Chains A and B, each alone.
Chain A
Amino acid sequence: MSLTETAQQARRRDLRIPLAAVLIVLALAAPFIGSRYITHSLIIALIFMLPAHGLNLLVGYTGLLSLAQAAFFGIGAYTAGLLAVTYGTPFYVNLLAAGAVSGALALPLGIPALRLRSTSFVMCTLGFVIIGQAIAKNWISLTRGDMGLSSIPKPYFELGPLSFTVSGTTNFYYLALIIGTLATFAVWAIVRSPAGRNMVAIRENETLAESLGVPTWHYKLIVFMISAVFAGVGGCLYAYYLTVVSPLTFQMYYSTTMLIIVLGGGAGMISGTVFGSLLFVGLTEALRITPELRMIAYGVCLLVLVFWFKKGCAPLINRFWNAIGGVK
């Protein structure tokens, strides 16, 4: 890079910090700017962002295409729902339990699944969703079968004498925003750590990574479990938001949606997942004219994504970010 170019760059203003500030203010003020419906859509986006973050760690960073997110999403939803309805435990306990149960179940499921490569791995993870749905439908003494769990109480916190109940859409939005932000930072921390670099090494060339001394098997298993924890937490929030859990929580639709969010936003990029969840939830909400037309349009979007946006929106985001930062 020549001296003149550097000088030119110095003269251009870096708009990245102001833009970030505007985005933060917008995120905080969203319930007061938009209608209740927009707030609702944003909550859905924030909830779906959690399992998508987990999936991004798997697909984008470690290179494992998984369809199991819906299974862990459902496990989280049922764990939280059952605890809340049966024992009336406070929200944060259920949230932690949902993450923990999903993560713990990912261990016995991940051991056989991760022995497989590419296509077989995809199929095996899809099997978890189908089996999860069958269990939710048929273990009636626990899950109440097709009726599902209803009237899940509003999230409440209890710390000693203090207690706080999250009521209303606005409050729930802030709850989702806090959890979403924490999750995003958690992913950021994982990706920036040496473990994150090892994950990318596995994605790029597993054999080479193994030969360089990266314990690839342990990494893959742990990333699979972490992604399940994210999905479980997302499922917990979803259960609290809808106040019902039914076997339909175990649906291919959710796995597909999460895959679209990650690949559409740009796999292997945290901002891609955040952007993707906003974009695709916005898209599906906007297409809510009739359910059939909506699903047809959803299918067309998938094809457009595959053939025209192979890397998702990531290149667009990167170009925009660099442009406003003054870097060529």
Chain B
Amino acid sequence: MLSTILEQTVNGIVTGSVYAIVAVGMTMIFGVLRAINFAHGEYYMLGTFGAWFSIDYLGLSYEASIIVGVLATIAVAYVVGQLVMRRMVGAPAESGVLATLGIALILQNTIILVFGGGYKFFAGGYIEPVSILGFSLAQQRILILVVCLLVFIGLELMVSYTRLGMAMRAVSQNVECCSVVGIDVPQVVLRTFMLGAALAALSGVLTAPVNVSVYGGMGELITFKTLPIIIMGGLGNVRGTFVAAMILGVAESLVATYVGLQFRDTVGFATLILMLMWRPHGLFSTQARF
């Protein structure tokens, strides 16, 4: 009984790590753009498809496919960022919702058009189980945990010490002042957006061996999982996102075991609605930020 709970908690933390990497990109994009990116799951999907393509068609190794998947997504994100996201600085909330929904439709259906809508088998990754402290855990899951920790440490350092990180923080505080002091706001938005998309793609490639199957519509579910996380974490809050993702991952895993697998996908929004009744501004925010 207790070991089941522990095992499910560990699984939940791994799932939470996956969500955290995706969600942190989305929350940073929200920070600079004040817009929810409804197409965020699509970059997760693109990364996975890039990796699947490079393994299945180009015969590359899994390690190389990670790089191909992430780079391909960055290229797509650059085009989308130049054409669409840059123009959304200072646009009203409806524009952000509609434009990113449009991008999600275009990306998702282009992939379905090119590769077909069926499920594809993802052959790659480290699936051998390892035994740690009496638990057996797949190598891939340990890799996900390690990468998640590295990503968050890296982001913390970047946001605090690099030029782009400081510019991002400045833009998320006040767009007008940044323009006045000469920060190229659209450029910051574009770079943040590409970074966020790259993180989503990385998360996708890391999870693909665990999920095994790859299909064109997989991004939508990820978007819907990410939205409650970034709101619970406090929009634009990197550390809050990490904690919220872990909470959601563990909650989903426990609900799937003890309530029923079919309710797993609703845990996020149900938790979100309950939490918003109690703390309308997110778990970690002391004041209204949005």
Instruction: Give residues in A with beta carbon < 8 Å to B.
Output: 59, 65, 67, 112-113, 115-120, 122-124, 126-128, 130-131, 134, 137-138, 252, 256, 259-260, 263, 267, 290-293, 295-296, 298-303, 305-307, 310
Contact = CB atoms under 8 A, between A and B. Distances in A.
Given A131-B266, A296-B113, A302-B101, 20 more contacts: A65-B94, A67-B97, A112-B273, A112-B276, A115-B280, A116-B280, A123-B36, A123-B272, A126-B269, A127-B228, A128-B269, A130-B265, A131-B270, A259-B97, A292-B109, A292-B110, A292-B113, A299-B106, A307-B87, A310-B95
Contacts of A299: 101-106, 109
Nearest to A111: B277
Contacts of A122: 36, 93, 97
Nearest to B235: A119
Contacts of A290: 113
B92 to A, nearest CB: 9
Interface residues on B, range: 35 or more
B278 to A, nearest CB: 10
A123 B268 CA distance: 11
Interface in B86-117: 87, 91, 93-95, 97-99, 101-106, 108-110, 112-113, 117
Nearest to A291: B109
In the A-B complex, the 9 residue pairs with the smallest Cβ-Cβ separation, listed nearest first, are A302-B102, A127-B269, A299-B105, A299-B106, A292-B113, A299-B102, A295-B109, A134-B266, A306-B99
Contact of A134 (B95, B104, B220, B262): B262
Contact of B102 (A67, A115, A300): A300
Contact of A117 (B108, B227, B290): B290
B266 A130 contact: yes
B74 interface: no
Contacts of A263: 94, 98
A65 B35 CA distance: 13
Nearest to A112: B277
B263 interface: yes
Contact of A260 (B98, B109, B224): B98
Contacts of A295: 105, 108-109
Contact of A118 (B93, B98, B103): B93
